[in-house]
């Protein structure tokens, strides 16, 4: 585990708790977690980044942070998630930062880079490809359709909460078992056990639409990291990702690695992030 400290970041009426590590004058790097995780998903990656001189900020995002759990599905539309990221940068007086995201954090990072390229020095997207590439795969690729079939369940209000939380979050713990450090897994569950947290996290899925192609090609230098053992994201969308990047682009494939890249291969991921940030 990293020796990161916890800080609170106020954005409008919300307060986001975040893990922060690295020199105060280090180059800022913002890391966005996915579902069903928390800021601690970056705990094993952060030491490599801070050793390289970066100031790493990993917030618990909307729905996960106790101080940022608005009610209602509409409050979790992607424009609000993007606004949170920009608001965090503003609150910390950061003009631009290297941006990293995994899973849903990757989906949001693509949107931030597309709509606010002046705030993003480089982008490293992990697992989830450019939204247009993912949307194409969902429409055209039978393999991706099967892999994404679970989304229908997560969009069912009440039923999803009941299934995921029963027996002390047994299903989520089974997903993590053997792939994630037990202490990190416990922190994910602790966050999602908070009042309203699981519903807030699931609302990301409930607010999503199929308008994946409405985002322009990314114009910031980008690295996309995908793993062949990912049960949720197939090869078709991954290989199409580069078609939607109009900037220097690197596609990194980690053979035999599961979806939990930041925790299963933290050093390799950190190296990919550092190489992109220094390019």
pLDDT digits (tens, 9 = 90+) for 215-249: 889 999 999 999 999 999 999 999 999 999 999 99
pLDDT at 1: 44
pLDDT at 215: 82
Structural domains of the chain, with CATH: 5-278 (3.40.50.1820)
pLDDT at 178: 79
SS percent in the chain: helix, strand, coil, step 5: 50, 20, 35
Residue 116 in tokens = 């606010």
Indicate the angle between helix axes 182-192 and 197-207, nearest 10 degrees.
80
The full DSSP string for 48-71 is HHHHTTEEEEEE--TTTSTB---S
Cis peptide bond N-terminal to 167, omega within 30 = no
pLDDT at 209: 81
pLDDT at 264: 96
Q: Can you list the residues of the chain whose pLDDT is less than 70?
A: 1-2, 210-214
Phi, psi dihedrals of residue 13, rounded to the nearest 5° = -90, 0
Q: What is the spatial distance between Cα 120 and Cα 100, in angstroms, rounded to a whole number?
A: 10
């Amino acid at each position: 585990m990293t020796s990161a400290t916890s800080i609170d970041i106020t954005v409008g009426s919300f307060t986001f708790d975040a893990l922060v590590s690295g020199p105060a004058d280090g180059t800022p790097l913002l890391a966005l977690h996915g579902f069903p995780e928390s800021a601690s998903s970056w705990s094993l990656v952060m030491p490599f980044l801070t050793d390289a001189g970066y100031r790493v900020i990993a917030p618990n995002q909307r729905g996960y942070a106790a101080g940022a759990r608005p009610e209602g599905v509409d409050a979790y539309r992607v424009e609000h998630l993007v606004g949170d990221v920009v608001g965090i940068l503003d609150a910390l007086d950061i003009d631009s930062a290297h941006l990293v995201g995994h899973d849903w954090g990757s989906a949001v990072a693509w949107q931030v880079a597309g709509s606010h390229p002046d705030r993003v020095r480089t982008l490293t997207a992990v697992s989830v490809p450019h939204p247009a590439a993912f949307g194409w795969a969902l429409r055209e690729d039978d393999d991706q359709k099967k892999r994404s079939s679970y989304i229908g369940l997560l969009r069912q209000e009440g039923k999803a909460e009941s299934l995921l939380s029963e027996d002390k979050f047994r299903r989520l713990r089974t997903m993590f078992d053997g792939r994630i450090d037990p202490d990190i897994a416990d922190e994910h569950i602790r966050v999602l056990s908070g009042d309203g947290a699981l519903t807030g996290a699931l609302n990301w899925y409930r607010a999503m639409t199929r308008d994946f192609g409405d985002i322009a090609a990314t114009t910031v230098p980008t690295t996309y990291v995908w793993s062949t053992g990912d049960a949720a994201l197939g090869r078709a969308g991954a290989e199409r990702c580069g078609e939607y990047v109009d900037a220097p682009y690197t596609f990194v494939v980690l053979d035999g690695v599961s979806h939990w890249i930041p925790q299963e291969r933290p050093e390799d991921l950190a190296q990919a992030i550092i190489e992109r940030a220094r390019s």
